[in-house]
Chains A and B, each alone.
Chain A
Amino acid sequence: MKNRLKVLRAERDWTQAQLAQALGVSRQTINAIETGKFDPSLPLAFKVARLFGLPIEAIFQDEPAQGQSLQPAAQR
């Protein structure tokens, strides 16, 4: 899963520690999400969306695995 967390954080001039504090997680968690090593849970993703005032899909984008389509079966 890709995300724009780093960009959004930079736009607001927040440090990873400040964002971690606002979300109630560790700085390590923010770093792992930003580098794509860790996908947040749905509740944390909603918390991030609420904090930035954006819909979840404007922050997190799914990356389908190779050869996998996200289109509904009927449209394929």
Chain B
Amino acid sequence: MSKSEQNAEVWQTTLKRSTLSLGLWSGSWLLSTALLAFGPRFLWQFDTLYSLLALMLNLGVGAVMIRANIRQVQAMDELARKIFLDAAAITLGVGLVCACSYGIMEDIRLISFEPDISHLMILMGLTFLVGVLAGNRRYR
């Protein structure tokens, strides 16, 4: 096997491994968030100690997920990184603008319910997904 083939294999293996790691830690973070959200009510009847432990678990797993995300970006090649960066920039902009407007909407009585952070998370997730798909289509 030539050196370039070995390098390519190493690069592809690293990318696959980091993608798998990111998927696993994202799933774990989701589970720990579910535990934090529903555990106090359904599992330990709002016991402060257990709630604090669940919170620490959630933050810890979240930190590892962020680290996995950074490793994933580092493992990408430069075009994939550009697509990711463009999508992240659009997501940041949309998130900021919509969060401001959404927060004000209740105050000025355009909506009758309290703004929910989960709506913003869904919007940002979808924006990022569309950004990545559009970037991949652009550089196809």
Q: Verify if B80 is at the interface (C-beta below 8 Å from A).
A: yes
Total chain B interface residues with beta-carbon distance under 8 A: 14
Q: Which of A5-13, A20-28, A60-68 contacts B (4 or more CB under 8 A)?
A: A20-28
Total chain A interface residues with beta-carbon distance under 8 A: 16
Q: Verify if B107 is at the interface (C-beta below 8 Å from A).
A: no
Q: Which of B4-12, B31-39, B61-69 contacts A (4 or more CB under 8 A)?
A: B4-12
Q: Verify if A32 is at the interface (C-beta below 8 Å from B).
A: yes
15 A-B interface contacts by CB (under 8 A): A20-B8, A21-B5, A24-B11, A24-B77, A25-B77, A26-B77, A26-B79, A28-B80, A28-B139, A29-B77, A37-B138, A38-B82, A38-B139, A40-B78, A41-B78
